[in-house]
Chain A
Amino acid sequence: MYDKDLIIYCAICVCAGLGSIAAVFPFVLARLVRPATRIHPRTLQSYECGNLPFGQSWDFRHGIAFYIYALIFLAFEVDILYLFPVALAFGDVAPVRGVLLLGGFVFMLACGLAYAWCTGVFTWTTRKKIY
Chain B
Amino acid sequence: MAGVSAEPRQVDLREPAGWRRTKNRLATWLMVLSFVLVIIPLGFVLVTVIAKGASSINWAFLTGGPVPPVVAPAGVGGLGPAVLGTIEITAVATVMAVPLGVLAAIYLSEYGGRNWLAAFIGFLADVMTGVPSIIMGLFIFTIWVLHFGLSGFAGSLALGCLMLPIVIRSSYEILRLVPNSLREGSYALGATKSRVTVTVVLPAAIGGIVSGVLLAVARAAGETAPLLFCIGAAETANANVFSGADTALPLQIFSNASQPYVGAAERGWGAALTLIAICFILMIAARLVTARFARYSH
Partners in one complex: no
Residues of A within 8 A of B (CB): none
Residues of B within 8 A of A (CB): none
